[in-house]
Protein backbone atom coordinates (compact mmCIF):
# COMPACT_ATOMS: atom_id res chain seq x y z
CA UNK A 1 0.00 0.00 0.00
CA UNK A 2 1.38 3.43 -0.93
CA UNK A 3 2.01 6.12 1.67
CA UNK A 4 -0.82 8.34 0.44
CA UNK A 5 -3.40 5.53 0.28
CA UNK A 6 -2.28 4.38 3.72
CA UNK A 7 -2.96 7.78 5.19
CA UNK A 8 -6.31 7.95 3.41
CA UNK A 9 -7.25 4.58 4.88
CA UNK A 10 -6.17 5.81 8.30
CA UNK A 11 -8.34 8.89 7.88
CA UNK A 12 -11.36 6.69 7.09
CA UNK A 13 -10.57 4.65 10.17
CA UNK A 14 -10.59 7.87 12.20
CA UNK A 15 -14.13 8.63 11.06
CA UNK A 16 -15.27 5.13 11.95
CA UNK A 17 -13.76 5.36 15.42
CA UNK A 18 -15.34 8.77 15.88
CA UNK A 19 -18.82 7.47 15.02
CA UNK A 20 -18.38 4.58 17.42
CA UNK A 21 -17.20 6.96 20.14
CA UNK A 22 -20.26 9.15 19.66
CA UNK A 23 -22.47 6.13 20.25
CA UNK A 24 -20.90 4.88 23.47
CA UNK A 25 -19.13 7.73 25.22
CA UNK A 26 -22.13 9.01 27.12
CA UNK A 27 -23.51 5.76 28.48
CA UNK A 28 -20.15 4.36 29.48
CA UNK A 29 -18.26 7.25 30.93
CA UNK A 30 -20.33 10.37 31.44
CA UNK A 31 -23.14 11.59 33.63
CA UNK A 32 -26.60 12.05 32.02
CA UNK A 33 -26.07 15.77 31.46
CA UNK A 34 -22.77 15.20 29.66
CA UNK A 35 -24.25 12.28 27.69
CA UNK A 36 -27.09 14.45 26.42
CA UNK A 37 -24.62 17.13 25.40
CA UNK A 38 -22.47 14.69 23.45
CA UNK A 39 -25.38 12.98 21.73
CA UNK A 40 -27.00 16.24 20.60
CA UNK A 41 -25.11 16.94 17.40
CA UNK A 42 -25.75 20.23 15.64
CA UNK A 43 -24.95 20.59 11.94
CA UNK A 44 -24.54 24.31 11.09
CA UNK A 45 -24.39 23.54 7.37
CA UNK A 46 -28.14 22.93 7.47
CA UNK A 47 -28.76 26.58 8.33
CA UNK A 48 -29.36 29.17 5.60
CA UNK A 49 -26.38 31.03 4.19
CA UNK A 50 -27.65 34.24 5.81
CA UNK A 51 -27.62 32.57 9.21
CA UNK A 52 -24.15 31.08 8.74
CA UNK A 53 -22.79 34.50 7.75
CA UNK A 54 -24.52 36.20 10.67
CA UNK A 55 -26.66 38.45 8.50
CA UNK A 56 -30.10 37.84 10.03
CA UNK A 57 -31.69 37.70 13.47
CA UNK A 58 -31.81 33.90 13.44
CA UNK A 59 -27.99 33.82 13.51
CA UNK A 60 -27.94 35.38 16.99
CA UNK A 61 -29.85 32.47 18.56
CA UNK A 62 -27.89 29.99 20.65
CA UNK A 63 -26.53 27.06 18.66
CA UNK A 64 -27.90 23.82 20.18
CA UNK A 65 -25.69 20.88 21.08
CA UNK A 66 -22.21 20.59 19.61
CA UNK A 67 -20.83 20.49 16.11
CA UNK A 68 -18.88 17.58 14.70
CA UNK A 69 -16.41 19.61 12.72
CA UNK A 70 -13.44 17.78 14.21
CA UNK A 71 -12.67 14.08 14.46
CA UNK A 72 -11.68 13.36 18.04
CA UNK A 73 -10.96 10.37 20.21
CA UNK A 74 -10.84 9.44 23.83
CA UNK A 75 -13.42 10.04 26.50
CA UNK A 76 -13.41 13.64 27.67
CA UNK A 77 -14.02 14.66 31.22
CA UNK A 78 -17.37 16.50 31.50
CA UNK A 79 -15.69 19.91 31.56
CA UNK A 80 -13.76 19.15 28.36
CA UNK A 81 -16.64 17.98 26.18
CA UNK A 82 -16.91 21.46 24.69
CA UNK A 83 -13.29 21.27 23.61
CA UNK A 84 -13.91 17.99 21.77
CA UNK A 85 -16.47 19.42 19.38
CA UNK A 86 -16.52 23.21 19.73
CA UNK A 87 -19.47 25.23 18.51
CA UNK A 88 -16.94 27.62 17.00
CA UNK A 89 -17.15 26.65 13.36
CA UNK A 90 -14.22 25.65 11.13
CA UNK A 91 -14.47 28.38 8.48
CA UNK A 92 -10.90 29.66 8.15
CA UNK A 93 -9.12 29.02 4.88
CA UNK A 94 -5.35 28.52 4.37
CA UNK A 95 -4.87 32.09 3.12
CA UNK A 96 -6.51 33.42 6.29
CA UNK A 97 -4.20 31.46 8.56
CA UNK A 98 -1.18 32.52 6.51
CA UNK A 99 -1.92 36.22 6.87
CA UNK A 100 -2.79 35.94 10.54
CA UNK A 101 0.69 34.46 11.03
CA UNK A 102 2.53 36.89 8.76
CA UNK A 103 0.78 40.18 9.44
CA UNK A 104 -1.48 39.59 12.40
CA UNK A 105 0.63 41.39 15.01
CA UNK A 106 2.01 44.21 12.86
CA UNK A 107 0.49 47.29 14.43
CA UNK A 108 1.14 49.80 17.19
CA UNK A 109 4.30 48.12 18.48
CA UNK A 110 6.10 48.35 15.15
CA UNK A 111 4.63 51.51 13.62
CA UNK A 112 4.51 53.66 16.78
CA UNK A 113 6.22 51.89 19.70
CA UNK A 114 9.48 51.43 17.78
CA UNK A 115 10.04 55.20 18.03
CA UNK A 116 10.12 55.24 21.84
CA UNK A 117 12.19 52.03 21.79
CA UNK A 118 14.78 53.74 19.57
CA UNK A 119 14.93 56.70 21.95
CA UNK A 120 15.41 54.42 24.98
CA UNK A 121 17.75 51.76 23.63
CA UNK A 122 19.39 53.22 20.53
CA UNK A 123 19.61 51.40 17.18
CA UNK A 124 21.77 48.57 18.52
CA UNK A 125 19.60 48.14 21.61
CA UNK A 126 16.50 47.85 19.45
CA UNK A 127 18.06 45.19 17.23
CA UNK A 128 19.42 43.20 20.19
CA UNK A 129 16.05 43.18 21.94
CA UNK A 130 14.03 42.30 18.84
CA UNK A 131 16.45 39.56 17.73
CA UNK A 132 16.41 37.92 21.18
CA UNK A 133 12.64 38.13 21.29
CA UNK A 134 12.50 36.79 17.72
CA UNK A 135 14.60 33.71 18.56
CA UNK A 136 12.40 33.10 21.57
CA UNK A 137 9.23 33.56 19.54
CA UNK A 138 10.31 31.07 16.86
CA UNK A 139 10.57 28.38 19.53
CA UNK A 140 7.22 29.40 21.04
CA UNK A 141 5.38 29.21 17.72
CA UNK A 142 7.03 25.90 16.82
CA UNK A 143 5.94 24.40 20.15
CA UNK A 144 2.47 25.86 19.78
CA UNK A 145 2.19 24.54 16.22
CA UNK A 146 3.12 21.01 17.26
CA UNK A 147 0.43 20.92 19.95
CA UNK A 148 -2.27 22.83 18.07
CA UNK A 149 -2.05 20.57 15.01
CA UNK A 150 -2.37 17.46 17.16
CA UNK A 151 -4.98 19.01 19.47
CA UNK A 152 -7.03 21.71 17.67
CA UNK A 153 -9.17 22.20 20.77
CA UNK A 154 -11.30 25.15 21.81
CA UNK A 155 -9.28 27.60 23.88
CA UNK A 156 -5.99 26.53 22.29
CA UNK A 157 -3.01 26.87 24.62
CA UNK A 158 -5.22 27.66 27.64
CA UNK A 159 -6.99 24.31 27.40
CA UNK A 160 -3.71 22.48 26.78
CA UNK A 161 -2.10 24.17 29.80
CA UNK A 162 -5.04 23.04 31.94
CA UNK A 163 -4.52 19.48 30.76
CA UNK A 164 -0.71 19.22 30.66
CA UNK A 165 0.15 21.44 33.64
CA UNK A 166 -2.35 22.47 36.29
CA UNK A 167 -5.92 23.78 36.06
CA UNK A 168 -5.17 26.44 38.70
CA UNK A 169 -2.23 27.76 36.71
CA UNK A 170 -4.27 27.60 33.50
CA UNK A 171 -7.00 29.58 35.27
CA UNK A 172 -4.44 32.29 36.06
CA UNK A 173 -2.98 32.25 32.56
CA UNK A 174 -6.39 32.27 30.88
CA UNK A 175 -7.75 35.23 32.83
CA UNK A 176 -4.42 37.03 32.49
CA UNK A 177 -4.68 36.56 28.72
CA UNK A 178 -8.28 37.82 28.65
CA UNK A 179 -7.40 40.97 30.58
CA UNK A 180 -4.30 41.48 28.43
CA UNK A 181 -6.46 41.89 25.33
CA UNK A 182 -9.15 43.73 27.25
CA UNK A 183 -6.70 46.53 28.12
CA UNK A 184 -5.07 46.56 24.70
CA UNK A 185 -8.46 47.30 23.08
CA UNK A 186 -8.82 50.83 24.56
CA UNK A 187 -5.15 51.39 23.85
CA UNK A 188 -5.61 50.63 20.17
CA UNK A 189 -8.73 52.82 19.96
CA UNK A 190 -6.75 55.68 21.52
CA UNK A 191 -3.84 55.27 19.13
CA UNK A 192 -6.30 55.24 16.22
CA UNK A 193 -7.70 58.55 17.47
CA UNK A 194 -4.28 60.17 17.85
CA UNK A 195 -3.31 58.85 14.44
CA UNK A 196 -6.20 60.70 12.79
CA UNK A 197 -5.08 63.86 14.57
CA UNK A 198 -2.05 63.84 12.30
CA UNK A 199 -4.27 65.50 9.70
CA UNK A 200 -6.21 67.82 11.99
CA UNK A 201 -6.27 68.71 15.67
CA UNK A 202 -9.51 70.65 15.42
CA UNK A 203 -11.56 67.59 16.40
CA UNK A 204 -11.17 66.54 20.06
CA UNK A 205 -9.63 63.18 20.81
CA UNK A 206 -12.79 62.12 22.65
CA UNK A 207 -14.78 62.55 19.44
CA UNK A 208 -12.44 60.25 17.50
CA UNK A 209 -12.54 57.66 20.31
CA UNK A 210 -16.33 57.74 20.21
CA UNK A 211 -16.34 57.40 16.42
CA UNK A 212 -14.07 54.35 16.36
CA UNK A 213 -15.93 52.73 19.25
CA UNK A 214 -19.27 53.24 17.50
CA UNK A 215 -17.86 51.77 14.29
CA UNK A 216 -16.80 48.61 16.13
CA UNK A 217 -20.15 48.32 17.90
CA UNK A 218 -22.05 48.84 14.64
CA UNK A 219 -20.05 46.10 12.96
CA UNK A 220 -21.00 43.80 15.81
CA UNK A 221 -24.71 44.65 15.85
CA UNK A 222 -25.37 44.67 12.12
CA UNK A 223 -23.12 41.77 11.15
CA UNK A 224 -21.80 43.75 8.18
CA UNK A 225 -18.52 43.00 6.44
CA UNK A 226 -19.09 39.24 6.65
CA UNK A 227 -19.87 39.28 10.38
CA UNK A 228 -16.68 40.85 11.65
CA UNK A 229 -16.58 39.02 14.98
CA UNK A 230 -17.51 35.67 13.55
CA UNK A 231 -14.78 33.32 12.39
CA UNK A 232 -15.04 34.09 8.69
CA UNK A 233 -15.51 37.83 9.19
CA UNK A 234 -12.46 38.17 11.42
CA UNK A 235 -10.40 36.05 9.04
CA UNK A 236 -11.34 38.13 5.99
CA UNK A 237 -10.67 41.42 7.78
CA UNK A 238 -7.31 40.17 9.00
CA UNK A 239 -6.36 38.90 5.56
CA UNK A 240 -6.93 42.18 3.73
CA UNK A 241 -5.58 44.46 6.45
CA UNK A 242 -2.46 42.28 6.72
CA UNK A 243 -1.98 42.50 2.96
CA UNK A 244 -2.05 46.30 3.19
CA UNK A 245 0.36 46.34 6.14
CA UNK A 246 2.83 44.06 4.38
CA UNK A 247 2.73 46.10 1.16
CA UNK A 248 3.37 49.36 3.03
CA UNK A 249 6.17 47.92 5.18
CA UNK A 250 7.93 46.41 2.15
CA UNK A 251 7.52 49.73 0.34
CA UNK A 252 9.03 51.53 3.33
CA UNK A 253 11.99 49.14 3.37
CA UNK A 254 12.86 49.89 -0.25
CA UNK A 255 12.38 53.65 0.20
CA UNK A 256 14.43 53.57 3.40
CA UNK A 257 17.35 51.82 1.70
CA UNK A 258 17.29 54.42 -1.09
CA UNK A 259 17.19 57.31 1.40
CA UNK A 260 20.05 55.95 3.53
CA UNK A 261 22.15 55.60 0.40
CA UNK A 262 21.49 59.27 -0.51
CA UNK A 263 18.93 58.70 -3.23
CA UNK A 264 16.18 60.83 -1.69
CA UNK A 265 14.59 63.83 -3.44
CA UNK A 266 16.89 66.78 -4.04
CA UNK A 267 16.82 69.31 -1.22
CA UNK A 268 15.56 66.75 1.32
CA UNK A 269 17.44 65.38 4.29
CA UNK A 270 18.23 62.17 2.46
CA UNK A 271 19.76 63.63 -0.71
CA UNK A 272 23.23 62.62 0.51
CA UNK A 273 24.74 59.38 1.76
CA UNK A 274 24.05 58.66 5.44
CA UNK A 275 25.09 55.03 5.88
CA UNK A 276 25.99 54.26 9.50
CA UNK A 277 26.56 57.87 10.53
CA UNK A 278 24.04 57.80 13.37
CA UNK A 279 25.55 54.63 14.82
CA UNK A 280 28.67 56.68 15.49
CA UNK A 281 27.07 59.98 16.42
CA UNK A 282 25.14 59.98 18.73
CA UNK A 283 26.00 56.27 19.01
CA UNK A 284 24.61 52.75 18.88
CA UNK A 285 23.30 52.53 22.47
CA UNK A 286 21.19 55.25 24.07
CA UNK A 287 21.39 54.20 27.73
CA UNK A 288 23.84 51.31 27.74
CA UNK A 289 22.74 48.00 29.25
CA UNK A 290 19.71 49.59 30.92
CA UNK A 291 18.55 50.91 27.58
CA UNK A 292 18.62 47.43 26.06
CA UNK A 293 16.68 45.98 29.00
CA UNK A 294 14.06 48.74 28.77
CA UNK A 295 13.27 47.85 25.15
CA UNK A 296 12.29 44.22 25.77
CA UNK A 297 8.75 44.98 26.93
CA UNK A 298 8.11 47.08 23.81
CA UNK A 299 9.43 44.24 21.65
CA UNK A 300 7.12 41.80 23.44
CA UNK A 301 4.19 44.15 22.91
CA UNK A 302 4.98 44.40 19.19
CA UNK A 303 4.98 40.60 18.82
CA UNK A 304 1.78 40.13 20.84
CA UNK A 305 -0.82 38.29 18.80
CA UNK A 306 1.51 35.76 17.19
CA UNK A 307 -0.01 33.07 19.38
CA UNK A 308 -3.42 33.73 17.79
CA UNK A 309 -2.52 31.05 15.25
CA UNK A 310 -2.97 28.51 18.04
CA UNK A 311 -6.47 29.77 18.80
CA UNK A 312 -7.34 29.86 15.11
CA UNK A 313 -6.44 26.17 14.71
CA UNK A 314 -9.78 25.30 16.31
CA UNK A 315 -11.61 27.15 13.55
CA UNK A 316 -9.62 25.67 10.67
CA UNK A 317 -10.99 22.58 8.85
CA UNK A 318 -7.62 20.86 8.41
CA UNK A 319 -4.94 22.31 10.75
CA UNK A 320 -2.52 19.50 9.82
CA UNK A 321 -2.40 20.89 6.29
CA UNK A 322 -2.52 24.64 6.96
CA UNK A 323 -0.85 25.18 10.34
CA UNK A 324 2.76 24.14 9.51
CA UNK A 325 3.19 26.80 6.84
CA UNK A 326 1.65 29.44 9.11
CA UNK A 327 4.07 28.50 11.89
CA UNK A 328 7.10 28.50 9.61
CA UNK A 329 6.23 31.89 8.15
CA UNK A 330 6.76 33.40 11.60
CA UNK A 331 10.51 33.27 10.97
CA UNK A 332 10.19 35.21 7.73
CA UNK A 333 7.96 37.80 9.34
CA UNK A 334 10.53 38.40 12.09
CA UNK A 335 13.46 38.52 9.70
CA UNK A 336 12.06 40.45 6.75
CA UNK A 337 9.49 42.68 8.41
CA UNK A 338 10.71 43.52 11.89
CA UNK A 339 14.48 43.24 11.76
CA UNK A 340 14.86 44.84 8.32
CA UNK A 341 12.53 47.78 8.99
CA UNK A 342 14.02 48.41 12.45
CA UNK A 343 17.54 48.36 10.99
CA UNK A 344 16.54 51.02 8.46
CA UNK A 345 14.90 53.15 11.15
CA UNK A 346 18.08 52.98 13.26
CA UNK A 347 20.16 54.09 10.27
CA UNK A 348 17.81 56.87 9.17
CA UNK A 349 16.99 58.51 12.53
CA UNK A 350 19.36 59.29 15.47
CA UNK A 351 18.08 58.09 18.83
CA UNK A 352 18.21 61.65 20.24
CA UNK A 353 16.06 63.13 17.47
CA UNK A 354 13.58 65.63 19.01
CA UNK A 355 10.71 64.31 16.87
CA UNK A 356 10.87 60.99 18.76
CA UNK A 357 9.96 62.78 21.98
CA UNK A 358 7.55 65.51 20.85
CA UNK A 359 3.96 64.69 19.91
CA UNK A 360 1.90 61.52 20.10
CA UNK A 361 0.45 58.79 17.87
CA UNK A 362 1.62 59.00 14.27
CA UNK A 363 3.65 62.16 15.03
CA UNK A 364 6.29 60.04 16.80
CA UNK A 365 6.10 57.12 14.37
CA UNK A 366 9.59 56.65 12.87
CA UNK A 367 7.91 55.47 9.66
CA UNK A 368 6.13 58.80 9.25
CA UNK A 369 9.21 60.78 10.33
CA UNK A 370 11.40 59.17 7.67
CA UNK A 371 8.87 59.72 4.88
CA UNK A 372 8.21 63.32 5.95
CA UNK A 373 11.91 64.14 5.86
CA UNK A 374 12.39 62.38 2.56
CA UNK A 375 9.94 64.88 1.05
CA UNK A 376 7.92 62.24 -0.80
CA UNK A 377 4.49 63.80 -1.12
CA UNK A 378 1.45 61.74 -0.33
CA UNK A 379 3.29 58.68 0.95
CA UNK A 380 3.21 59.93 4.53
CA UNK A 381 -0.59 59.95 4.31
CA UNK A 382 -0.63 56.38 2.99
CA UNK A 383 1.53 55.24 5.90
CA UNK A 384 -0.70 57.12 8.31
CA UNK A 385 -3.81 55.47 6.87
CA UNK A 386 -2.07 52.11 7.22
CA UNK A 387 -1.22 52.84 10.84
CA UNK A 388 -4.86 53.69 11.50
CA UNK A 389 -6.10 50.49 9.83
CA UNK A 390 -3.42 48.46 11.62
CA UNK A 391 -4.34 49.61 15.09
CA UNK A 392 -8.03 48.99 14.40
CA UNK A 393 -7.13 45.55 13.06
CA UNK A 394 -5.25 44.76 16.26
CA UNK A 395 -8.26 46.09 18.15
CA UNK A 396 -10.44 43.52 16.41
CA UNK A 397 -7.84 40.86 17.23
CA UNK A 398 -8.25 41.88 20.88
CA UNK A 399 -11.94 41.01 20.71
CA UNK A 400 -11.24 37.77 18.84
CA UNK A 401 -8.52 36.49 21.20
CA UNK A 402 -10.14 37.68 24.41
CA UNK A 403 -13.58 36.33 23.57
CA UNK A 404 -12.33 32.89 22.47
CA UNK A 405 -10.27 32.46 25.62
CA UNK A 406 -13.11 33.67 27.86
CA UNK A 407 -15.42 31.16 26.18
CA UNK A 408 -12.93 28.36 26.84
CA UNK A 409 -12.67 29.44 30.49
CA UNK A 410 -16.45 29.18 30.79
CA UNK A 411 -16.49 25.77 29.08
CA UNK A 412 -14.01 24.41 31.64
CA UNK A 413 -15.89 25.90 34.60
CA UNK A 414 -13.53 28.79 35.36
CA UNK A 415 -15.85 31.57 34.19
CA UNK A 416 -19.62 32.12 34.42
CA UNK A 417 -21.62 29.77 32.19
CA UNK A 418 -23.20 32.73 30.40
CA UNK A 419 -19.96 33.05 28.42
CA UNK A 420 -20.51 29.65 26.79
CA UNK A 421 -23.24 31.28 24.65
CA UNK A 422 -22.33 30.77 20.98
CA UNK A 423 -24.81 31.67 18.27
CA UNK A 424 -25.60 29.84 15.03
CA UNK A 425 -23.01 31.91 13.13
CA UNK A 426 -20.29 30.61 15.45
CA UNK A 427 -19.87 33.85 17.43
CA UNK A 428 -19.35 33.82 21.22
CA UNK A 429 -21.63 36.83 21.72
CA UNK A 430 -21.51 37.08 25.52
CA UNK A 431 -17.72 36.92 25.53
CA UNK A 432 -17.46 39.51 22.75
CA UNK A 433 -19.64 41.93 24.71
CA UNK A 434 -17.55 41.35 27.85
CA UNK A 435 -14.36 42.41 26.04
CA UNK A 436 -16.08 45.42 24.45
CA UNK A 437 -17.03 46.71 27.90
CA UNK A 438 -13.38 47.69 28.39
CA UNK A 439 -13.26 49.88 25.29
CA UNK A 440 -14.54 53.05 27.08
CA UNK A 441 -11.33 53.03 29.14
CA UNK A 442 -9.92 54.85 26.13
CA UNK A 443 -11.61 58.04 27.39
CA UNK A 444 -9.08 58.15 30.24
CA UNK A 445 -6.59 59.42 27.70
CA UNK A 446 -8.65 62.60 27.33
CA UNK A 447 -7.65 63.61 30.86
CA UNK A 448 -4.40 65.32 31.77
CA UNK A 449 -2.95 62.01 32.97
CA UNK A 450 -3.65 60.39 29.61
CA UNK A 451 0.01 60.26 28.57
CA UNK A 452 0.78 57.98 31.50
CA UNK A 453 -2.02 55.57 30.59
CA UNK A 454 -0.17 54.44 27.46
CA UNK A 455 2.83 53.38 29.58
CA UNK A 456 0.62 51.46 32.02
CA UNK A 457 -1.27 49.60 29.29
CA UNK A 458 1.83 48.74 27.26
CA UNK A 459 3.66 47.46 30.35
CA UNK A 460 0.70 45.35 31.50
CA UNK A 461 0.02 43.82 28.09
CA UNK A 462 3.71 43.35 27.29
CA UNK A 463 4.51 41.31 30.40
CA UNK A 464 1.23 39.41 30.08
CA UNK A 465 2.38 38.31 26.65
CA UNK A 466 5.65 37.05 28.11
CA UNK A 467 3.83 35.00 30.74
CA UNK A 468 1.60 33.50 28.04
CA UNK A 469 4.59 32.51 25.91
CA UNK A 470 6.34 31.04 28.96
CA UNK A 471 3.24 28.94 29.69
CA UNK A 472 3.22 27.67 26.09
CA UNK A 473 6.86 26.55 26.33
CA UNK A 474 6.37 24.82 29.68
CA UNK A 475 3.16 23.16 28.42
CA UNK A 476 5.06 21.80 25.41
CA UNK A 477 7.83 20.45 27.66
CA UNK A 478 5.25 18.63 29.78
CA UNK A 479 3.47 17.34 26.66
CA UNK A 480 6.69 15.86 25.29
CA UNK A 481 7.38 14.26 28.68
CA UNK A 482 3.90 12.71 28.84
CA UNK A 483 4.12 11.62 25.19
CA UNK A 484 7.33 9.73 25.93
CA UNK A 485 6.28 8.26 29.28
CA UNK A 486 3.04 6.90 27.82
CA UNK A 487 4.91 4.98 25.12
CA UNK A 488 4.48 7.25 22.11
CA UNK A 489 7.13 8.09 19.52
CA UNK A 490 7.92 11.56 18.20
CA UNK A 491 7.54 10.08 14.72
CA UNK A 492 3.79 9.78 15.31
CA UNK A 493 3.42 13.55 15.46
CA UNK A 494 2.10 15.13 12.25
CA UNK A 495 4.28 18.18 12.89
CA UNK A 496 7.36 18.36 15.11
CA UNK A 497 8.76 21.56 16.60
CA UNK A 498 12.07 22.61 15.08
CA UNK A 499 14.04 22.34 18.32
CA UNK A 500 11.83 19.78 20.02
CA UNK A 501 11.65 20.00 23.80
CA UNK A 502 15.09 21.64 23.85
CA UNK A 503 13.73 24.48 21.75
CA UNK A 504 11.03 25.05 24.36
CA UNK A 505 13.66 25.01 27.10
CA UNK A 506 15.59 27.66 25.16
CA UNK A 507 12.45 29.74 24.64
CA UNK A 508 11.51 29.48 28.32
CA UNK A 509 15.06 30.40 29.37
CA UNK A 510 15.08 33.51 27.20
CA UNK A 511 11.70 34.58 28.56
CA UNK A 512 12.95 34.19 32.14
CA UNK A 513 16.02 36.30 31.30
CA UNK A 514 13.78 38.99 29.78
CA UNK A 515 11.59 38.97 32.90
CA UNK A 516 14.70 39.37 35.06
CA UNK A 517 15.88 42.25 32.85
CA UNK A 518 12.48 43.91 33.15
CA UNK A 519 12.58 43.49 36.94
CA UNK A 520 16.01 45.15 36.92
CA UNK A 521 14.58 48.11 34.99
CA UNK A 522 11.56 48.23 37.30
CA UNK A 523 13.80 48.59 40.36
CA UNK A 524 16.51 50.73 38.76
CA UNK A 525 14.79 52.54 35.85
CA UNK A 526 16.56 54.35 33.04
CA UNK A 527 17.55 57.84 34.18
CA UNK A 528 17.48 56.95 37.87
CA UNK A 529 14.64 57.37 40.33
CA UNK A 530 13.62 59.99 42.80
CA UNK A 531 12.72 57.37 45.39
CA UNK A 532 9.58 57.11 47.50
CA UNK A 533 6.26 57.23 45.66
CA UNK A 534 7.88 57.89 42.27
CA UNK A 535 10.05 54.76 42.60
CA UNK A 536 7.08 52.61 43.61
CA UNK A 537 5.00 53.93 40.72
CA UNK A 538 7.84 53.26 38.26
CA UNK A 539 8.13 49.68 39.56
CA UNK A 540 4.44 48.85 39.19
CA UNK A 541 4.25 50.48 35.76
CA UNK A 542 6.99 48.09 34.65
CA UNK A 543 5.94 44.95 36.54
CA UNK A 544 2.23 45.16 37.19
CA UNK A 545 1.40 41.95 35.28
CA UNK A 546 3.41 39.74 37.68
CA UNK A 547 1.37 40.36 40.86
CA UNK A 548 -1.83 40.19 38.80
CA UNK A 549 -0.87 36.72 37.51
CA UNK A 550 0.10 35.52 41.00
CA UNK A 551 -3.21 36.79 42.40
CA UNK A 552 -5.18 34.83 39.79
CA UNK A 553 -3.10 31.71 40.48
CA UNK A 554 -3.88 31.94 44.22
CA UNK A 555 -7.58 32.44 43.47
CA UNK A 556 -7.61 29.46 41.09
CA UNK A 557 -5.96 27.19 43.66
CA UNK A 558 -8.22 28.36 46.49
CA UNK A 559 -11.25 27.71 44.28
CA UNK A 560 -10.45 24.31 42.74
CA UNK A 561 -7.63 22.98 44.96
CA UNK A 562 -5.86 21.32 42.01
CA UNK A 563 -2.24 20.23 41.73
CA UNK A 564 -0.07 19.44 38.66
CA UNK A 565 -0.71 16.01 37.17
CA UNK A 566 1.89 13.30 36.77
CA UNK A 567 3.06 12.76 33.20
CA UNK A 568 1.53 9.28 33.17
CA UNK A 569 -1.88 10.68 34.14
CA UNK A 570 -2.09 13.40 31.49
CA UNK A 571 -4.92 12.85 28.98
CA UNK A 572 -3.35 12.54 25.52
CA UNK A 573 -6.49 11.32 23.73
CA UNK A 574 -9.27 13.87 24.17
CA UNK A 575 -9.36 16.25 21.23
CA UNK A 576 -6.54 14.46 19.43
CA UNK A 577 -7.03 14.64 15.67
CA UNK A 578 -4.06 12.67 14.29
CA UNK A 579 -3.92 8.94 14.99
CA UNK A 580 -1.34 7.78 12.46
CA UNK A 581 1.12 5.05 13.43
CA UNK A 582 4.89 5.37 13.23
CA UNK A 583 4.98 3.16 10.16
CA UNK A 584 2.32 5.20 8.37
CA UNK A 585 4.15 8.44 9.10
CA UNK A 586 7.45 6.95 7.91
CA UNK A 587 5.82 5.94 4.63
CA UNK A 588 4.26 9.37 4.27
CA UNK A 589 7.56 11.20 4.85
CA UNK A 590 9.45 8.79 2.62
CA UNK A 591 6.95 9.56 -0.14
CA UNK A 592 7.49 13.31 0.34
CA UNK A 593 11.26 12.85 0.09
CA UNK A 594 10.82 11.64 -3.50
CA UNK A 595 9.72 15.14 -4.55
CA UNK A 596 12.17 17.34 -6.53
CA UNK A 597 14.79 19.23 -4.54
CA UNK A 598 13.22 22.66 -5.05
CA UNK A 599 9.87 21.34 -3.78
CA UNK A 600 11.52 19.88 -0.67
CA UNK A 601 13.34 23.17 0.02
CA UNK A 602 10.07 25.09 -0.32
CA UNK A 603 8.32 22.70 2.04
CA UNK A 604 11.13 22.94 4.58
CA UNK A 605 11.07 26.76 4.61
CA UNK A 606 7.43 27.63 4.03
CA UNK A 607 5.05 24.69 3.80
CA UNK A 608 4.03 21.60 5.75
CA UNK A 609 6.46 19.19 7.37
Confidence bin at 480 (pLDDT 50/70/90): very high
Domain-located, residue 179: yes
Query: By CB neighbour count within 10 A (0-12 exposed, 13-18 middle, 19+ buried), where does 319 fall?
Result: buried
Residue 85 confidence (pLDDT) above 50:
no
The answer to whether 362 and 198 are in contact (CB under 8 A) is yes
Question: Which residues does residue 41 pair with via DSSP β-bridges, in sequence order?
Answer: 66
Domain-located, residue 596: no
Confidence bin at 82 (pLDDT 50/70/90): very low
CATH number, domain containing residue 344: 1.20.1740.10
Domain-located, residue 602: no
Domain-located, residue 492: yes
pLDDT given for residue 497 in this prediction: 86
Cβ-based neighbour number of residue 447 at 10 Å:
10
Q: Which domain holds residue 54?
A: 40-578
Confidence bin at 505 (pLDDT 50/70/90): very high
Query: What does the alpha-carbon distance between residue 260 and residue 345 come to, in Å, rounded to a whole number?
Result: 10
Domain-located, residue 599: no
pLDDT given for residue 54 in this prediction: 61
DSSP helix/strand/coil, 211: helix
pLDDT given for residue 476 in this prediction: 93
DSSP helix/strand/coil, 92: coil
Across residues 333-359, what is the average pLDDT? 83
DSSP helix/strand/coil, 462: helix
More confident residue, 172 or 55: 172
The answer to whether 7 and 584 are in contact (CB under 8 A) is yes
The answer to whether 431 and 419 are in contact (CB under 8 A) is yes
- Going through 476-534 in order, the beta strands assigned E by DSSP cover none
Domain-located, residue 35: no
Please state whether the predicted TM-score (pTM) of the whole model is above 0.75.
yes
Each residue's pLDDT tens digit, 357-367 = 765 555 678 88
What does each C-alpha distance from 441 to 185, 203, 360, 404, 444 come to in angstroms? 9, 19, 18, 21, 6
CA proximity to 165, closest of 400, 474, 557: 474
Domain-located, residue 563: yes
Query: What does the alpha-carbon distance between residue 44 and residue 57 come to, in Å, rounded to a whole number?
Result: 15
Each residue's pLDDT tens digit, 156-198 = 788 888 888 888 888 888 888 888 888 888 888 887 777 787 7
Number of domains in the chain: 1
The answer to whether 382 and 365 are in contact (CB under 8 A) is no
Domain-located, residue 24: no
pLDDT given for residue 232 in this prediction: 56
The answer to whether 179 and 544 are in contact (CB under 8 A) is no
Lowest mean pLDDT, pick from 21-25, 36-40, 83-87, 203-207: 21-25
Amino acid sequence: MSAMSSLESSSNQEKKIYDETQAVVGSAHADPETQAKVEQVYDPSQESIWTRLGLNFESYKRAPGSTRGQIVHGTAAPELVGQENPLLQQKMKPRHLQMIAVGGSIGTGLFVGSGSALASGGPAGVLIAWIIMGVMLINVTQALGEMAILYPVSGGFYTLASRMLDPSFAFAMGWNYVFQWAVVLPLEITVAGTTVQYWTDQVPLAAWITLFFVVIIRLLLTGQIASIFGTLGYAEEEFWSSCLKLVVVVMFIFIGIICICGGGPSGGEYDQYIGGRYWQDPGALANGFKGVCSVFVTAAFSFAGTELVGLAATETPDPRKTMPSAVKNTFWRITLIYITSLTIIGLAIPFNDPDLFDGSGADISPFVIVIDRAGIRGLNHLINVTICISVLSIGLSCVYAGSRTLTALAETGYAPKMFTYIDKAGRPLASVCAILIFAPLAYINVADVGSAVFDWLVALSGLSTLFTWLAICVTHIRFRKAWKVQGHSVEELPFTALGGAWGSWLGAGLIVLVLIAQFYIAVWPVGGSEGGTAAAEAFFISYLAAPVLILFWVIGYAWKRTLPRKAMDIDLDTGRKSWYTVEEMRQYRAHRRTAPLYVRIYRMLFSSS
